Structure 1
């Protein structure tokens, strides 16, 4: 059966370059967010962040945090920063994608599809402008296929990703993170709704916010029906 026909997690990144600016958007079961980065080709001169759908009451504060983090920075330096956990990790990833593609002249779309577990196995693939560029099978957080990655833990893929051809490293990172997020579909909501129990892995889960954060936000299942991520949003230009 085709992966498109299986129930599971869906995530779409849409990257739209323009003159002196670039918009990066993401939508999945749990999130819908966008950043617009204004730049002169080298330095970021401004940034707009928009949390259209987020899982916690405290998440919108991260819009100001991501602007504080990146405005005034060189595009080439984005990937060298080490403050992802103090930001919303999703806005942060959008900013990095924007920096990587700021001088592109064509839009780019990545789709991540991860099946729900069948016999504890998930099938996952990432498509670039509709074409599959990387896939794997994961079981119990360990990759089973392809052969070159078999036995590697999903959260320990950095050396393997670094060994891939340059054009596959970006989609591999997006697929890794999407596969990890897909795990949220199998966890009862009541077991993932107490921020005070979460490690300090993002803006909301920092000690000063996790005690007051409340779970909110619509959860969508894009594997049911015809709507796909970002269908309801048009690029800003």
Structure 2
């Protein structure tokens, strides 16, 4: 999720709800579990680290947009053997990977580098109002950590960053402007805005579209790359509306293969 979605029918309920996303970090003695739950995804990543090297990587996908998405679970294992630093996961990894699994891995490694413990980030983003504005609230471990007002995906508040767009160089600006922990929160908030674009459309109808109907997105992620581009379809009925609140946490982490790592 998401991209140019205008080939989907409009969602008649858009403007009345809230997109919600939860990212959960659970430290292990030798790694970290990172889980994602939102309107379109229910998935998680486990990374095992020995010294400064990723020795194992596992993932689960319980809810996802495209029929081909689970193939990215095996693709994630290409991270094994790479340096256990956040910088090891650059944007170039995303073409053959699930964007969300890779971002969860990057966020988890960033947390490991800072030697931080377990934690929870929850994001709520209201649908655009009649003026094209949206309000975003990010809580970290139950406490307010970010509050944005957006107009057409450009910051209105915080006032000191008014006019800063969320795309086209935003990530570079974030990492140049904030310390690592705060930069990660801004990254999580930006991804929430990107994914929440889907709320304006009916993307999981009983008439699934082929991935190949969006040629401009070729190479964007696992399902838009390689053989998947020609064979993948939308899943049907996968969207959940969490406007009223996210459900309780319940999922176990994916089990890595190398238990002794």
With the shorter chain as reference, the TM-score category is 0.7 to 0.9
Structure 2 CA distance, aligned partners of 1:82 and 1:230? 34
Structure 1 CA distance, aligned partners of 2:65 and 2:28? 30
1:85 aligns with 2:99: no
1:110 aligns with 2:121: yes
Name stretches of at least 5 consecutive residues in structure 1 with no aligned partner.
1-5
Q: 1:27–1:229: 8 Å Cα contact kept in structure 2?
A: no
1:197 aligns with 2:213: yes
1:184 aligns with 2:198: yes
Q: 1:37–1:46: 8 Å Cα contact kept in structure 2?
A: yes
Runs of 4+, deviation exceeding 6 Å: none
Q: 1:26–1:230: 8 Å Cα contact kept in structure 2?
A: no
Q: Which residue of 1 aligns with 2:171?
A: 158
Structure 1 CA distance, aligned partners of 2:143 and 2:208? 34
Q: Which residue of 2 aligns with 1:57?
A: 67
Q: Which one of the candidate residues 55, 58, 69 is aligned to 1:48?
A: 58
Q: Which residue of 2 aligns with 1:146?
A: 158
- Structure 1 residues 229 and 25 mapped into 2: Cα distance closer, same or farther (>3 Å)? farther
Q: 1:15–1:22: 8 Å Cα contact kept in structure 2?
A: yes
1:28 aligns with 2:33: no
Aligned CA RMSD, in angstroms, stands at 2.3
Q: Which one of the candidate residues 8, 16, 19 is aligned to 2:18?
A: 8
Structure 2 CA distance, aligned partners of 1:91 and 1:159? 21
Name stretches of at least 5 consecutive residues in structure 2 with no aligned partner.
1-15, 256-261
Task: Calculate the TM-score normalised by the size of structure 1.
Answer: 0.87
Cα offsets for 1:126-152 (capped at 9, x unmatched): 211111211211122222222222222
Aligned pair count reads 229
* Secondary structure, aligned partner of 1:35: strand
Q: Which residue of 2 aligns with 1:39?
A: 49
Task: Calculate the TM-score normalised by the size of structure 2.
Answer: 0.80
In terms of fraction of residues, the more helix-rich structure is 1
- Structure 1 residues 138 and 153 mapped into 2: Cα distance closer, same or farther (>3 Å)? same
- Structure 1 residues 24 and 230 mapped into 2: Cα distance closer, same or farther (>3 Å)? farther
Q: Which residue of 2 aligns with 1:233?
A: 251
- Structure 1 residues 214 and 192 mapped into 2: Cα distance closer, same or farther (>3 Å)? closer
